Amino acid sequence: MKNKNFTYRTLFCLAFLLVYSCGIEKYIPEGEQLYTGAELKLKTESELKDSKEVKTKLLSLIEPNPNTKFLGMKPALFFHYKAQREKPGFLYKFLNKSFGEEPVYFSDVNPERVEELILNRLDNNGFFYSRSASETVVDGNFASVNYTATLPEPYVLENYTLESDSLPIYKEIEKMLPETALVKGDRFDLDLLKAERARLNNRLKQKGFYNSQEDLLIFEADTNQYNNRKFDLFLRLKKDVPTRASIPYSIDSITVYPNYSIEGDTLPLTEENVTQIDSIDFIQNELYFKPELLESYLLFNEGDLYDANTSKQTSSRLSALGSYKYVNIQYTELDTTAIDGNGGSLAASIYLAPLTKRSIRAELQAVSKSNGYTGPGILLSHTNRNVFNGGETFSVSADFSYELQLSNSSNTNLTSIAGGISTDLIIPRSIPFSPSRFKYAVPKTKISLGVDFLQRSDLFTLSSVNGTFGYTWKENKYVYHTLDPISINYSKLSNVTDEFQTILDDNEYLTQSFEQRFIAGLLYSFTYDEVSDLDKETPIYFTTNFDLAGNMLSLASGGSNTIFGSEYAQYAKVDADLRLYLRWEKERTLVSRLYAGWGVPYGNSSTLPFVKQFYSGGPYSIRAFDIRSLGPGNFYPDSDDDTTDYYDQSGNLKLEANVEYRFPLFSYLKGAFFVDAGNVWLTGDYSDLLDDESISTSSEALFTDGKFEKDWLSEVAAGVGFGVRLDIQSFVIRLDLASPLRIPYLEKNKRWNAPFFGNADNNMTLNFAIGYPF
């Protein structure tokens, strides 16, 4: 009851603060009126099909924007006023810094200027001879403006033609006109004309017109032929356009400098340092990059017409090699006259400045993992670039870490010692496919081999050997692919303590998931990522992974469930992660995320390998619950053992949803409010394990309570919280404090919980992590 009273008092105080924020009138200076916004009314002479679109464009011109409202109040303005007092106090300083807004007074408004902008925008959209007016409405200390725009019938396109001329550029433009987006009946729209001019210029740049420019193209509208508000559109070049801008150019010669020094001079063409491949000259004092390999990355050849897109793509392909810090393609005009109908010619020079060939790096790390383990680590790596003179990168790295599991559950103080050695060879081409087949970006072939060990205190040691052979490539600006047709992992469990052996003996499900030592199969990942495009206000991120294991081993073993004396796993697993971002001013972002994953064991396997199972809870999942403290379903371990629950609480189906609002606090310090929901479940038939007479009571409850059923929504966990993040150039240290809102393992009528003030056993969970949760 005490907690409830405290909650009511808190809510009452917050409500009182919001209501009190309505009383801002007393803070408005004498002689000023607070600007409360504007309304716009459209008057048309005839029906306007896209009136909403037109009105939206005009509303965007009305400035300034009034102070924001929340439930009819202006709390942001209230926080600002309060923070201007002589002693505002920490709370109002904080609220003003995070949410405050400076007042917008009517003296900041210029209705005449807005009227001019409205008329100009209407002219640009074909509503010639429009009228606009404004009326100021004053109500005590507040003022607003009512705007009226009177629109006549718009002018629409009747004909779109090109003025003829003998210059070569006119013949090329004529071929492009049928692809135009301008059609008969379109309203005059200056933005559409600009887009058409940009389209034509881009196409000309792809057809050899090296010196083409948008401002050389002129549109003229003629309304004299009609009396019913129609116009003809004529396209021509500016007068006195220089010859060099109106003729196409072809590539006369190509010279590549694979070992160019930015500080040094260009090497002279001599027989000793020139290698010619398909009429392309490669100049280097000593062999740095094999010319026959480098040539395959160039998308243009001698005799080709100049193409701006092809040149840009070639530059991107060369930059993606990973061997160069500087890529510059320069063109020199050799002939700028069109003799006998021929165009001009260009000499292409490609300058490539290499990165440092070898590098050694040592890092001291603060490790924070999704399984709750945190601690120091060290990473040593050696990188050799262009190791075989074909852009290959060979790297060797070794890591060691000591970690302690920090949580509020019974698993606290478990320690972990981990280490490993890995080697990677990245080849900037797709073996055995030719790079010329991929126009946007060339796939990279990656071959990896590694050895790892993991020692968990008082439990076990897990050693593993892994190797992969696969490809990564970028399809376009946003789409990435990763394909590993060969992925092998062999693990061995050793130094098993009596305590952990007891856990295995009592849990056949867990035993089988550890006994499958071989995991071999195919991995594929698809990613669509707009987040890095800062110009997008609502970017989307989507990734999905497919993991198929065991089929090739089944064929190789002749259907046996072992290979080389060890069991191998067979399963299919898929997961998908969708994130929607909403960005607005002052670095504020609202992120929503949906995640789903499902794994199905079959053939040789009755369970997924332990490392492939899904789990819920922790700093990258449902933050109101400790790592692996949720699920499956409404299962809750009923055991006195300190570790059993950690290994029981996983599943082969996971559903999760998150919403997080991120905002700046001070300098590099950011804040966030969030809501998380989700859980894991078991799917499939586990009757064989249930029929085992030696099955423990806890394991039996695991299969019955953890199964995915029709009422799965009642087993969804939820939590709310807030956090602070130190974000320095994308290096993020994060602290999130969360509390459960819904607890699925309690009785059905007791699962809802009052966050931070409820009666849950662990009503607050502090998460420390590196990086954003999603």
412: Cβ contacts below 8 Å, ≥ 6 apart? 405, 406
In this structure, is residue 169 part of a structural domain?
A: yes
Q: What is the pLDDT of residue 455?
A: 83
* One-letter amino acid of 328: N
Of 61, 86, 65, 87, the closest CA to residue 76 belongs to: 65
In degrees, rounded to 5, the angle at the alpha carbon of residue 665 between the alpha carbons of residues 659 and 671 is 25
Q: Are 704 and 738 in contact (CB under 8 A)?
A: no
Q: What is the pLDDT of residue 499?
A: 80
* One-letter amino acid of 259: N
Are residues 601 and 738 located together in one domain of the fold? yes
Among candidate residues 121, 151, 181, the one where a domain is terminated: 151
The Cα 459–Cα 457 span in angstroms is 5
In this structure, is residue 501 part of a structural domain?
A: no
In this structure, is residue 605 part of a structural domain?
A: yes
Q: Which residue matches tokens 């809802």?
A: 752
Are residues 308 and 200 located together in one domain of the fold? no
Q: Which helix (H) or strand (E) holds 154?
A: none
Are residues 176 and 226 located together in one domain of the fold? yes
Q: Which residue matches tokens 């085992």?
A: 692
Q: How far from each other are the two terminal CA atoms of the chain, in whole angstroms?
A: 37
Name the pTM for this structure.
Answer: 0.76
139: Cβ contacts below 8 Å, ≥ 6 apart? none
| DSSP bridge pairs for 750 | none
Residue 202: CATH number of its domain:
3.10.20.310
In this structure, is residue 508 part of a structural domain?
A: no
Judged by DSSP in three states, 484 sits in strand
Q: How many H helices and E strands in the chain?
A: 15, 29
Q: Are 662 and 696 in contact (CB under 8 A)?
A: no
The Cα 296–Cα 273 span in angstroms is 20
Q: What is the pLDDT of residue 11?
A: 47
Peptide bond into 773 cis (omega under 30): no
Are residues 410 and 437 located together in one domain of the fold? yes
In this structure, is residue 112 part of a structural domain?
A: yes
Are residues 136 and 23 located together in one domain of the fold? yes
Of 681, 629, 678, the closest CA to residue 652 belongs to: 681
The Cα 698–Cα 704 span in angstroms is 10
Using 50 as the pLDDT threshold, list the residues of the chain that sit under it. 1-21, 369-371, 408-411, 641-645
Are residues 562 and 630 located together in one domain of the fold? yes
Q: What is the pLDDT of residue 645?
A: 47
Structure tokens given for 63: 């400035």
Q: What is the pLDDT of residue 286?
A: 86
In this structure, is residue 682 part of a structural domain?
A: yes
The Cα 672–Cα 589 span in angstroms is 9
Are residues 147 and 162 located together in one domain of the fold? no
Of 185, 68, 120, the closest CA to residue 584 belongs to: 68
Q: What is the pLDDT of residue 392?
A: 93
Q: Quote the distance between the C-alpha of residue 441 and its chain's center.
A: 19
Among candidate residues 210, 245, 280, the one where a domain is terminated: 245
Are residues 138 and 162 located together in one domain of the fold? no
Q: Is 100 exposed, middle or buried (0-12, 13-18, 19+ CB in 10 A)?
A: buried
Q: What is the tens place of the pLDDT at every residue in 628-665?
A: 788 899 988 765 544 444 566 889 999 999 999 998 88
Are residues 375 and 302 located together in one domain of the fold? no
Between 75-83 and 2-20, two packed helices, what is the crossing angle to 10 degrees? 80
Q: Which residue matches tokens 């020692």?
A: 455
In degrees, rounded to 5, the angle at the alpha carbon of residue 339 between the alpha carbons of residues 337 and 343 is 60
In degrees, rounded to 5, the angle at the alpha carbon of residue 240 between the alpha carbons of residues 237 and 245 is 65
The Cα 216–Cα 205 span in angstroms is 13
Provide the residue count of the chain.
774
Q: Are 718 and 676 in contact (CB under 8 A)?
A: yes
Number of independent structural domains in the chain:
5
684: Cβ contacts below 8 Å, ≥ 6 apart? 600, 601, 652
Are residues 311 and 191 located together in one domain of the fold? no
Q: What is the tens place of the pLDDT at every residue in 514-548?
A: 776 788 899 999 999 999 888 888 999 999 999 99
The Cα 730–Cα 573 span in angstroms is 31
Are residues 585 and 443 located together in one domain of the fold? no
CA distances from 241 to 14, 212, 253, 342, 772 (A): 69, 10, 27, 18, 55
Q: What is the pLDDT of residue 178?
A: 93
The Cα 503–Cα 509 span in angstroms is 11
Are residues 189 and 316 located together in one domain of the fold? no
DSSP annotation string for 54-101: HHHHHHTT--SPPPP-BTTB-HHHHHHHHHTSSS-HHHHHHHHHHH--
DSSP annotation string for 321-340: TSSEEEEEEEEEEEE-S-GG
Judged by DSSP in three states, 451 sits in strand
Q: Which helix (H) or strand (E) holds 417?
A: strand 415-427
DSSP state of 515: H
Structure tokens given for 250: 């072809």
Q: What is the pLDDT of residue 21?
A: 44
Among candidate residues 397, 425, 456, the one where a domain is terminated: 456
User: How many CB atoms lie under 10 A from the CB of residue 275?
Assistant: 17
DSSP state of 750: G
Query: Which phi and psi (to 5°) does residue 501 adopt?
Result: -65, -35
In this structure, is residue 463 part of a structural domain?
A: no
In this structure, is residue 175 part of a structural domain?
A: yes
Containing domain of residue 230, as a range? 156-245
